A and B are shown apart, each in its own frame.
Chain A
Amino acid sequence: MSLRKHLNILDYAVHFMLRRRGKNIATVLVFTLVVFMLASVVMMMGSLREEAENTLALAPDITVQKIVAGRQGLVPLSYASRIQDIRGVSRVEGRIWGYYYDALEDATYTIIGVEHLPFRVVEGRAPRGQEVVVGEAIAKRKRIIPGDRIILRDHRGNYVKFTVVGVFSPRSSLQSADIIAMPGSIAREFFGIPDDRANDLAVYVANPAELTNIAYKISLALPDARVLTRQQIRETYDAIFGWRSGVFLAAIFGAILAFAILVWDRASGLTAEEKKEIGILKALGWSTEDVLEMRTCEGVLLALNSYLLGIILAYIHVFYLNAPLLRPVLLGWSTLYPSFELMPALSLEDLLLIFMVSVVPFMAAVIVPSWRASTIDPDEAMRGV
């Protein structure tokens, strides 16, 4: 078969499409919107899931908090030595961290005290003395580069100067984005945490199989402590994702509904002129396959354009604008993380999934009615159908 012939048909299809601009623009709009909605949700879920995995990978095996009057209070470091005595515990660390409200930017940061950095630093090195490493989002927002100074207000209200010596890698965004890391002793002073206390304890165990057992022993030994295992944190995430999957399903359902309307419109919407034109083409020596090929080209052009447009818009919406349209759905998430930026995470499977639920049924909707129209006998056209 000659390629030339197919190019001719494709060219005719483009004209066929452009001639019905109004109808086709409406189609592209609905289609793009559906792909956009689906892709936004899929991309956001993918991104959050990846972030959760990163966070879990960094979380200690067991986190020990002290509960005072039903709220999280400071943990005495003496607890650390009692936990250290439990067999199977390899290491216990008192962690210093707290929230910091930046009135100038109307943003909340998390300040953590670190001895060694939990996240990769793209630029710079670990902080020493009055030095900090900042998250990518802070660096961007405040236009900071290593070597710059920042001034923060400590718990007494004094302004304290810090030198920025590094920026966290954007890959581990959810946590590193709005984090300021400084040496543990400096953070302790900054928040005014007594020397014998910490915000919580990070406990590491040698054998993961013993995790639950050790957690149980800790809660027995320290009745006023809340003991969270990595497993429990994972379950919390799973619960949130479970709920979010429901939202996701609802979004898909809505999209499919909108799509069904579009498809129905297309399927029933072969206009009298379109039918007449197909009849004329048949009478002029186009075969059934030629007509179908032309209509398929038209469908593919419409569908692919809408698909690409929807994906690109969703990408911008989720990863550049941080999904403003999905924010309400994310409220639950932000109780876990006061602020975060979504990092691009887009898998081929996701793209394929969206393709399967959008482009494939659309193509069927274009081709089926055309197929019916294209099988009319050419002599019908002779009588002016």
Chain B
Amino acid sequence: MIRCEKTTKVYNRGKPNEVVAVRGVSLEIRGGEVAVLRGPSGSGKTTLLTLIGCAARPTSGRVFVLGREVSRLPERFLTRFRREHVGIIFQQFNLIPELSVLQNVVIPLVPTPTRPEEAEERAMELLERLGLEHRHHFRVRELSGGEMQRVAIARALVNQPEVIIADEPTAHLDSSLAGDFLEIMQQLQNEGKTIVIATHDPLVYEHELVDVVFDMRDGRLVEVERR
């Protein structure tokens, strides 16, 4: 499903501020699994997520997603692949504050041939599932933190992706909201989605829904714990 082969990502290559953020990582995540990338801050979790989530290409090594080698795709095709198969939940939510909840959720569908009515219908279904239908016309800046995250989740799901990646999803939530988040992830796993979460929150990586934990240190994969 997702496979990395000796994947390396170097930022600012050849410059004095060169950083090797991910160093020769090889790993495999099976379809329908919930995987956690665990490690201290700066260990390369976010970078590895961007590679798996097709938001960036590795400097060397290979990345396969859904059986496709995405590490060699030209930018345009990588973008399209991401748009069609990957949903991203950002650490900072990355919502657009002046837009309504509904408008935020449909953004990934704008540069596609989806009709607006269909896009909104899909978005409303997701908002309903996440208990936000009564908030659909609210501006995002009028929402609470937990609501914002559920909007971000709805947006990550609106393109019906097979793969969902989430970066430190519980960083801005209290433990009860974090529990809600994990419950939603549980549902998505039951629907067959493959989920990759970068986190150093024990509430997440100790949760029973997690199938595999990859421990990262200084860009290296140091331990794999399959449950």
Q: Which residues of A contact B (CB under 8 A)?
A: 2, 4-5, 8-9, 11-12, 15, 19, 277, 280-281, 283-290, 377-379, 381-384
Query: What are 30 sample pairs from A and B whose C-beta atoms fall under 8 A apart?
Result: A4-B114, A5-B112, A5-B113, A8-B116, A9-B111, A11-B110, A11-B116, A15-B99, A15-B103, A19-B99, A280-B107, A283-B88, A284-B107, A285-B82, A285-B84, A286-B83, A286-B110, A287-B80, A287-B111, A290-B110, A377-B56, A378-B50, A378-B79, A379-B55, A381-B90, A381-B94, A382-B55, A382-B90, A382-B91, A382-B167
The reply to whether the CB of B159 lies closer than 8 angstroms to some CB of chain A is: yes
* Dominant SS among interface residues on chain A: helix
A289: chain B residues within 8 A (beta carbon): 76
- Give Cα distance in the complex from A133 to B114, angstroms: 68
A5: chain B residues within 8 A (beta carbon): 111-113
The reply to whether the CB of B108 lies closer than 8 angstroms to some CB of chain A is: yes
- Give Cα distance in the complex from A281 to B155, angstroms: 12
**Which residue of chain A has the shortest Cβ distance to B167 in the bound complex?**
A382
- Give Cα distance in the complex from A290 to B109, angstroms: 12
Q: Which residues of B contact A (CB under 8 A)?
A: 46-47, 49-50, 55-56, 75-76, 79-80, 82-84, 88, 90-92, 94-96, 98-99, 103, 107-116, 155, 159, 167
Q: How many A-B residue pairs have CB under 8 A?
A: 86
Inter-chain contact A12/B110, CB cutoff 8 Å: yes
Inter-chain contact B96/A285, CB cutoff 8 Å: no
B82: chain A residues within 8 A (beta carbon): 285, 378
Inter-chain contact A290/B55, CB cutoff 8 Å: no
Inter-chain contact A384/B91, CB cutoff 8 Å: yes
Q: Within the complex, what minimum Cβ distance (angstroms) separates A162 from chain B?
A: 69
Inter-chain pairs besides A9-B110, A12-B107, A284-B83, 15 sampled, C-beta below 8 Å:
A8-B109, A15-B99, A19-B99, A277-B96, A280-B95, A283-B94, A285-B79, A285-B83, A285-B108, A287-B111, A377-B55, A379-B55, A381-B90, A384-B90, A384-B94
Inter-chain contact A382/B98, CB cutoff 8 Å: no
- A9-B110, A382-B49 are contacts. A287–B79 as well, Cβ < 8 Å? yes
B98: chain A residues within 8 A (beta carbon): 19
Q: Within the complex, what minimum Cβ distance (angstroms) separates B28 from chain A?
A: 22
